A and B are shown apart, each in its own frame.
Chain A
Amino acid sequence: MGLLAPWFLAGLGLLALPVYLHLLRRSRPDSKQFSSLMFFEPGRQAELRRRRLDYLALLAARLLLLALIIFAFAQPVIRSASVSAGAPALRLVVVDTSASMGFRGRMEEARRIASGLLTPQARLAAFDSRLRLLDRAELARLEAGPAANSFAELARALRAFHDEQKQPVEAHLVSDFQRSALAGGFAELQLPEGVSLKVHSVAQRAEPNWTVESVRAPARVRHGREARIQAVIAGFRTQAQTKTAVLRVAGRDAARQSVGVPPEGRATVEFDGPDLPYGFSECSVRLEPGDGLAGDDEFLFAIERTDPLTLAWFGDRRAENYVRSALEAAAGGLFALGGGTAWQQARALIAAGSMPAEAELAAAVRRGMGLLLVLTPADAARGQVPVTGQKIAGTRYAARSAEGFFLAARTDSTSPLIDKAGAWQGVRFYQVLAVEPGSGRVLAALSDGTPLLLEQRVGDGTVLVLASPLDGAANDFPLQPAFVPFVEQAARLLTGWEDSTASMPAGEMLVPAAGERARAYELLDPRGRRALSFAESARGASVELDQTGFWRVLRGGGRDRVIAVNIDRRESDLEPLPPESLEMLPAAASAASQSGGGAPPEKPLALWVLAAALAAALVEAVLASFYLGKEAA
C-alpha cells in the first residue's frame, strides 16, 4: 500500500483537537473552590466516570472519522505486482512542435536537447495537437507546425503508447511549456501508471509577441467593394507600438493602415471593401514589421464574390410578395426569387400551393436542392406532404377553440430558423395542417405537439415544411417581426449559405457527417494535393487541417468552399509556466509513477476509505444523538 499525496497526512495533527475537547477539557473542567465537599459522595460521581467512558466511544468514532477523511485525501493505493515490474523503462523523447516553438531559436534548442536525450533504445515523437512517433533521423528536419499543443491529448497518447509497449515509459518532454497550454491546470496532464515525465524547457522567459488575432469579414458578397474587413491586432507582453496592417488579396497588397497597439492590449483596424473578382478570393491581413513568431503575423481568410443565389418560386402571388419583400429586406440582394421555368438551375425552391412535377422535384431535392414547402388546404386533401411523404392527419382551425388562435408553444432554439426569429413569439396561427413528423425534426410546434415547422433530409437536400399557408388568412406570420429573419435563415439553410466558414485554426479536424452523400466532397490541401477523396468523405473519413493556407472543398453544383487555415492563436501568448509550476509538473502529472516507470500498478482506495468514513460518520451521529438525548434527559 502507498500514498499518492502523503503530505496530507500532516492533517493527522488535527486529531489532537477532538482528544483535547473530549479528554483534556472534559477531564479538567473549570475548577472552583468550595467550602467543603462533605456532602458530595465520591460514589455518586462514578456516574460521571461512566459517562466519560461513554464519551470515549464517541471520541473514538470522531477520531476514526477524521483519520479516514485525512487518509482519503492522502489518496491511498494498493500497489500490486505488475507485468512490467522490473522491466527497463523505455525512453520516449517528445518534442513540442506547436506553433509557439517557431519562435526564434526555440526549435533549434529543442532539437539539441532531444539529440542529447536520444539514447540508442530511445524513441522520438513530435507533439502538438496529437502525438506522432517519428524516426530518429527525422529529428534534424523537425520544425514547428501551425497547431496548438494539448497536454490532455499528450496524456492520452502516452497512455496508448504505454499500453502498446507494455513496459514502463520514461517520457522526456521538450517544450516551451506555454502557460496557455495548461489553462485547465495540471489535471489535464494526468499520466497513466507506469509512465514518468521529465520536463526540458526551451523557454526561459515571456517573449513579446504581436499577432493578428482575428479577422471579421463576410464569407460571401454580391459586389466586390461592399465587404468591410475588421482585423484585431493583439500584443502579448509588449510595449506600446505602431504597427502596419496590410490587407492582401490574391497575393497582392490591396491596402495598408497603421495602427497604434497599446501595451499588452488590442487594437482594431478596418479596411473598406477591396475590389474582389468573381469567385473565391484568398485574402489575408499581415503585420509589418514581423516579429520572432512569424506564423501568427498573418491571418488568412477567403471571400466569395457571387451572383445572387436564386430561389425558385411556385405559388400564389400574395405569398410571393411576402417572401420577396422579406428577402430583399434581410439579405441585401444576396438572394433572388426566380420564376418557375428554370427552377432546376436554382439553389433552392419555395412551393406554396403549386410546384413542379413532384417526381422531378423530389429528384432535384435528392441531388441537393433545398425546398421550402408551405402547405395549403389542397395538401390536406391529398393526405400527405409532397416529396417527404409525411402523413397529413387533417386540419386544425383555431376558430373552433376557446383561444381563437394558436401560438408556437414548443420551439427548438438550437435552430437559427427559430432562434434568430425570436422563437416566433406573438405569431398567431388560425389554421394548421396536422402533419405527422415521422423522422423529421420538429423545429416549432403548438402546445399539443402539432408541428408548425419541420426539417427533413431527403437525399442530399434539405426540406423545410411549414404547416400553415402564407396567404395572410391562415396566420399573421408575414406581418410579424419574426417573418423576415425566418425567411432569411431559411434561404441560407436551403442554399447552403451556412456552410461558408471562412477560416479555421490549424489542428482542427474536418469531419463530414458519416453516411450522408450530401457531405461528400473532395478536399485539396493548400499545395493542391488531394487530402480527401469523394469516396473517403462519403464514408465519413475525417482529415486534420495540419497546414496553414487555403484548403478547397470541391462538391460540385456551385457549392465549393474555401477554408482558410491559420495558426491557432492560443499559441501567440509566449509566456511560459513559472519555474516553480514547471518543477511541480512531473510530480502532479505522475505522482503514482515517480520511480521512473518501474512502479507497479496501483489500485486507488480513496473511495473505500471514504465509504468507511461515511460509516464512521453514521456511528458518530448515532452515538452523539444518543448521548445528547441522555444529557437532555
Chain B
Amino acid sequence: MQQRFLDPQILAGIANLELTAKTVVEGFISGLHRSPDYGFSQEFAEYRPYVPGDDLRYVDWNVYARTSRLYLKRFRGETNTRLTILLDRSASMGFQSRGLRKIDYARFLAASLGYLAHQQRDAVGLIAFDDEVRDYVEPSSRHGQWVKVLHAIDRAEPGRRTDYTQPFWHFQQFLRRRGIVLVVSDFFAPARDVVSTVAPLRQRGNDVILMHVLDPEEIEPELEGSRVLIDMETGQEMEVHPAYAAGPYREKMRRHLEEMESLAQGAGLSYHRSLTSEPLDEALRRYLAVREGRP
C-alpha cells in the first residue's frame, strides 16, 4: 500500500517538494520494515546477519559467543559522510512524453535522497548545472541546510545545453572532501565522454552514483508518421521517419545504455537507470547500498 506513494504520477500531484520527499522516503522505509535512522554512529540501532564481505570490525562477538551466529551491530547515525547531488538541469531534461518531465523526476529523486541523507544526519549539498554550474549549495549538516538544498532543487528548471566538461572541472574545486556524489542526468553525450569526465571524482575517493534518468519515449520512440523532431538543446530540426525511429534509433540507444553501464562499472561508478514511469524506490535502494558500503 505504501509503495504507491513512490509512483511518480502520484508524487507529481503533491505540490510541496519537501512533502514529496518525505512521502517517498517514509514510504520506502516502511516497505523495508526498518528504521529510517540507522547508521554508523555509537548509538545502537539494530543487528543484522553477517554476510561475506562485511567488515569484521562491526561483528558483535558477544552475540556470536552466545549464539554461535555472526551479527553486525548497527548504530543510530551520526553524520559521517557527505552527499553531493549533481543535478543536470539542461534543456533536454525538460522532455516529457507522458507523465512527468525528466527534470521533475530528477528533482523528486534528488529531494528524496537528500531527505534520506538529512534524516541520517549526513551532510547534504547540491550542484545544479547545464553547461555551467548554475546553483551550488555546499554540503553541510548544519541546521537549515536541508531547507537550502530543498530550495535549490526547487529552483532547478531546464536551462541550456549539457556540457559535462566545464561543470565537472568546477566540481573538483568544490569537492575537497570525500563523500558520495550522486549525478542525476539524462547523459545525452557520448558514454565515453561522460564516464571519462566523471571518473576523476571516483579516483579522488568519492563514491559516485550515476542516476540515468530517461523518459520511456526516449528509449522506444513511437512515431505514427514522419515527424520533424526538434532538439531541445540545440534547436536542430530533423525529419524522422517512423521506420528509423523504430529500428536504427532504438538500436543506437540500446548500445549507448549498454556502453554507459559497462564503462561506469569499469570505472568503479555505480550506475542506475530510472525511467520516469518507474517508482523511485530502486534509486533509494541503490543509494543505501552505496551508503552502507562506506565506513
Interface residues of A (CB under 8 A from B): 26, 28-42, 44-45, 47-48
> B19 in the interface, Cβ–Cβ < 8 Å?
no
- The contact of B227 among A32, A38, A42, by CB within 8 Å, is A32
> B7 in the interface, Cβ–Cβ < 8 Å?
no
- Are B238 and A37 neighbours in the complex by a CB distance under 8 Å? yes
Stretch of B108-116, B248-256, B258-266 with 4 or more beta carbons under 8 angstroms from chain A? B248-256
- Are B252 and A30 neighbours in the complex by a CB distance under 8 Å? no
Q: Which of B209-255 contact A (CB under 8 A)?
A: 215, 218, 221, 225-234, 236-241, 244, 248-249, 252-253
- Are A37 and B248 neighbours in the complex by a CB distance under 8 Å? no
Provide the residues of chain A in CB contact with B58, threshold 8 Å.
none
- The contact of B228 among A31, A35, A39, A41, by CB within 8 Å, is A31
- Are A34 and B226 neighbours in the complex by a CB distance under 8 Å? no
Given contacts A34-B95, A35-B231, A39-B252, 18 further A-B contacts (CB under 8 A): A28-B228, A29-B226, A30-B225, A30-B227, A30-B228, A31-B227, A31-B230, A32-B227, A32-B228, A33-B232, A35-B92, A35-B218, A36-B231, A36-B232, A38-B189, A39-B256, A40-B238, A48-B226
Chain B nearest CB from A21 CB (Å) reads: 13
- Are B244 and A37 neighbours in the complex by a CB distance under 8 Å? no
In the bound complex, how far is the Cα of B225 from the Cα of A26, in angstroms?
10
Provide the residues of chain A in CB contact with B241, threshold 8 Å.
45, 47-48
Chain B nearest CB from A627 CB (Å) reads: 14
Decide yes or no: A35 and B239 within 8 Å by CB, A26-B226, A29-B226 being known contacts.
no
18 A-B interface contacts by CB (under 8 A): A29-B227, A30-B228, A31-B230, A33-B95, A34-B95, A34-B230, A34-B231, A34-B232, A35-B95, A35-B186, A36-B92, A36-B188, A37-B238, A39-B256, A40-B238, A40-B244, A44-B248, A45-B241
In the bound complex, how far is the Cα of B237 from the Cα of A31, in angstroms?
9
In the bound complex, how far is the Cα of B102 from the Cα of A271, in angstroms?
101
Provide the residues of chain B in CB contact with A35, threshold 8 Å.
92, 95, 102, 186, 188, 215, 218, 231-233
In the bound complex, how far is the Cα of B229 from the Cα of A36, in angstroms?
9
Chain A nearest CB from B133 CB (Å) reads: 21
Decide yes or no: A40 and B229 within 8 Å by CB, A31-B237, A45-B240 being known contacts.
yes
Provide the residues of chain B in CB contact with A45, threshold 8 Å.
238-241, 244
The residue on A at minimum CB distance from B190 is A38
Provide the residues of chain B in CB contact with A28, threshold 8 Å.
228
In the bound complex, how far is the Cα of B92 from the Cα of A38, in angstroms?
12
Chain A nearest CB from B260 CB (Å) reads: 13
The residue on B at minimum CB distance from A37 is B231
Chain B nearest CB from A241 CB (Å) reads: 73
Provide the residues of chain A in CB contact with B234, threshold 8 Å.
37
- The contact of A37 among B102, B215, B236, by CB within 8 Å, is B236
The residue on A at minimum CB distance from B215 is A35
Provide the residues of chain B in CB contact with A29, threshold 8 Å.
225-228, 239
Provide the residues of chain A in CB contact with B244, threshold 8 Å.
40, 44-45
Provide the residues of chain B in CB contact with A39, threshold 8 Å.
249, 252-253, 256
Provide the residues of chain A in CB contact with B218, threshold 8 Å.
34-35
The residue on B at minimum CB distance from A631 is B243
Decide yes or no: A32 and B230 within 8 Å by CB, A40-B238, A42-B238 being known contacts.
yes
In the bound complex, how far is the Cα of B102 from the Cα of A33, in angstroms?
14
Provide the residues of chain A in CB contact with B186, threshold 8 Å.
35-36
Chain B nearest CB from A48 CB (Å) reads: 5
Provide the residues of chain B in CB contact with A48, threshold 8 Å.
226, 239, 241
In the bound complex, how far is the Cα of B227 from the Cα of A290, in angstroms?
82
Provide the residues of chain A in CB contact with B92, threshold 8 Å.
35-36
In the bound complex, how far is the Cα of B230 from the Cα of A242, in angstroms?
86
Provide the residues of chain A in CB contact with B239, threshold 8 Å.
29, 45, 48
Provide the residues of chain B in CB contact with A41, threshold 8 Å.
248
Chain A nearest CB from B120 CB (Å) reads: 34
Q: Can you list the 5 inter-chain pairs with the closest CB atoms, starting with the nearest?
A: A36-B188, A35-B92, A31-B228, A35-B95, A34-B229
Provide the residues of chain B in CB contact with A47, threshold 8 Å.
241
The residue on A at minimum CB distance from B237 is A31
The residue on A at minimum CB distance from B234 is A37
Decide yes or no: A37 and B225 within 8 Å by CB, A44-B244, A47-B241 being known contacts.
no
Provide the residues of chain A in CB contact with B227, threshold 8 Å.
29-32
The residue on A at minimum CB distance from B252 is A39
The residue on A at minimum CB distance from B218 is A35
In the bound complex, how far is the Cα of B215 from the Cα of A176, in angstroms?
83
The residue on B at minimum CB distance from A39 is B252
Chain B nearest CB from A37 CB (Å) reads: 4
In the bound complex, how far is the Cα of B232 from the Cα of A32, in angstroms?
10
- Are A32 and B229 neighbours in the complex by a CB distance under 8 Å? yes
Q: Mark B33-56, 1 if CB is under 8 A from A, else 0.
A: 000000000000000000000000
Chain A nearest CB from B191 CB (Å) reads: 11
The residue on A at minimum CB distance from B230 is A33
In the bound complex, how far is the Cα of B240 from the Cα of A29, in angstroms?
10
Provide the residues of chain A in CB contact with B249, threshold 8 Å.
39-40
In the bound complex, how far is the Cα of B229 from the Cα of A365, in angstroms?
99
- Are B95 and A38 neighbours in the complex by a CB distance under 8 Å? no
In the bound complex, how far is the Cα of B232 from the Cα of A42, in angstroms?
17
Q: Which of B117-144 contact A (CB under 8 A)?
A: none
Q: Which of B189-211 contact A (CB under 8 A)?
A: 189
Provide the residues of chain A in CB contact with B230, threshold 8 Å.
31-34
In the bound complex, how far is the Cα of B239 from the Cα of A315, in angstroms?
101
Chain B nearest CB from A422 CB (Å) reads: 68
A31, A32, A47 interface centre (most CB from chain B within 10 Å):
A32
- Are B229 and A31 neighbours in the complex by a CB distance under 8 Å? yes
Chain B nearest CB from A59 CB (Å) reads: 16
Chain B nearest CB from A282 CB (Å) reads: 86
Provide the residues of chain A in CB contact with B228, threshold 8 Å.
28-32
In the bound complex, how far is the Cα of B248 from the Cα of A31, in angstroms?
20
Q: Which of B162-195 contact A (CB under 8 A)?
A: 186, 188-189
Chain B nearest CB from A321 CB (Å) reads: 90
In the bound complex, how far is the Cα of B244 from the Cα of A42, in angstroms?
11
In the bound complex, how far is the Cα of B243 from the Cα of A48, in angstroms?
10
Chain B nearest CB from A36 CB (Å) reads: 4
- Are B229 and A37 neighbours in the complex by a CB distance under 8 Å? yes
Provide the residues of chain B in CB contact with A38, threshold 8 Å.
188-189
In the bound complex, how far is the Cα of B230 from the Cα of A30, in angstroms?
11
Provide the residues of chain B in CB contact with A34, threshold 8 Å.
95, 218, 221, 229-232
In the bound complex, how far is the Cα of B14 from the Cα of A327, in angstroms?
106
The residue on A at minimum CB distance from B225 is A29
In the bound complex, how far is the Cα of B235 from the Cα of A291, in angstroms?
88
The residue on B at minimum CB distance from A51 is B241
Provide the residues of chain B in CB contact with A31, threshold 8 Å.
227-230, 237
Provide the residues of chain A in CB contact with B221, threshold 8 Å.
34
Chain B nearest CB from A162 CB (Å) reads: 62
In the bound complex, how far is the Cα of B236 from the Cα of A39, in angstroms?
13
In the bound complex, how far is the Cα of B229 from the Cα of A48, in angstroms?
14
In the bound complex, how far is the Cα of B244 from the Cα of A35, in angstroms?
17
The residue on B at minimum CB distance from A42 is B238
Provide the residues of chain A in CB contact with B189, threshold 8 Å.
38
Chain A nearest CB from B287 CB (Å) reads: 25
Provide the residues of chain A in CB contact with B102, threshold 8 Å.
35
Provide the residues of chain A in CB contact with B252, threshold 8 Å.
39
Q: Mark B72-93, 1 if CB is under 8 A from A, else 0.
A: 0000000000000000000010
- Are B240 and A40 neighbours in the complex by a CB distance under 8 Å? yes
The residue on A at minimum CB distance from B253 is A39
In the bound complex, how far is the Cα of B84 from the Cα of A316, in angstroms?
134
Provide the residues of chain A in CB contact with B188, threshold 8 Å.
35-36, 38
In the bound complex, how far is the Cα of B252 from the Cα of A40, in angstroms?
9
A30, A32, A39 interface centre (most CB from chain B within 10 Å):
A39
Provide the residues of chain B in CB contact with A26, threshold 8 Å.
226
Provide the residues of chain B in CB contact with A44, threshold 8 Å.
244, 248
Chain B nearest CB from A29 CB (Å) reads: 5
In the bound complex, how far is the Cα of B72 from the Cα of A132, in angstroms?
131
Chain B nearest CB from A425 CB (Å) reads: 67
